[in-house]
Amino acid sequence: MAGQANKKADADTSPAGTDITDAVDFEIIELFFFAYRDFTSDPDVILEKRGFGRAHHRVLHFVDREPGMTVADLLDTLRITKQSLARVLKQLIDSGYIHQVAGPEDRRQRKLYTTKEGKTLARALAEPQSRRIAEALAKTGPGARDTIKRFLAGMKTAEEN
């Protein structure tokens, strides 16, 4: 009884039917909304102290996780525009959390790295989120982590390239 709800198909429009097809999964939709709402609010307290917002968090996070990534990589990951990124990135650089290095092959590129302070902040921001995840997984039961991973990966739009 697991994998059949995605059939939707049936063009019949059953007159007396209105069977499965119509079922919209409001329950998961809402749970997902509340889960993400609270998950993202965890680091807000820390960010506010530094005068940063969630946009800074995302940039710092990905640069920390993928050292040496370029501005173009970041734009692609975050799916925002150059100007939106420029603002927060500049602030992170000016504040000493991220630094740039001209690409060794292509010197037009700016490879991005977190500084020591950047790493510390990135870790501090990830920590409460990680704790929330660990607690939720623990409550869910053994083996949950693998299921969650697969589900979340499946929710992401597949990349073409």
Partner DNA sequence: ACAATATGTCAGCTATGTTGACATATTTTT
Partner DNA sequence: AAAAATATGTCAACATAGCTGACATATTGT
Our finding on whether 119 is near DNA (CB under 7 A) is no
Site track for DNA across 34-73, x = CB under 7 A: -----------------xxxxxx-x-----------xxx-
Q: Please list every residue from 87 through 106 that binds DNA, using CB under 7 A.
A: 87-90, 100, 102-103, 105-106
Our finding on whether 104 is near a copy of itself (CB under 8 A) is no
Near DNA by CB under 7 A, which window of 27-35, 82-90, 135-143, 149-157?
Answer: 82-90
Our finding on whether 56 is near a copy of itself (CB under 8 A) is no
Q: Which residue among 82, 131, 149, 150 contacts DNA (CB under 7 A)?
A: 82
Nearest 5°: CA angle at 149, between 66 and 5?
A: 135
Q: What is the DSSP string of the chain?
A: --TTGGG---TT--TTT--GGG---HHHHHHHHHHHHHHHHTTHHHHHHHT--HHHHHHHHHHHHSTTB-HHHHHHHHT--HHHHHHHHHHHHHTTSEEEEE-SS-TT-EEEEE-HHHHHHHHHHHHHHHHHHHHHHHHH-TTHHHHHHHHHHHHSPPP--
If the CB atoms of residues 12 and 105 are measured against DNA, the closer one turns out to be 105
Our finding on whether 7 is near DNA (CB under 7 A) is no
Q: Residue 20 binds which entry of DNA, a copy of itself, none, with Cβ cut-offs from 5 to 8 Å by kind?
A: none
Q: Which residue among 6, 83, 157, 161 contacts DNA (CB under 7 A)?
A: 83
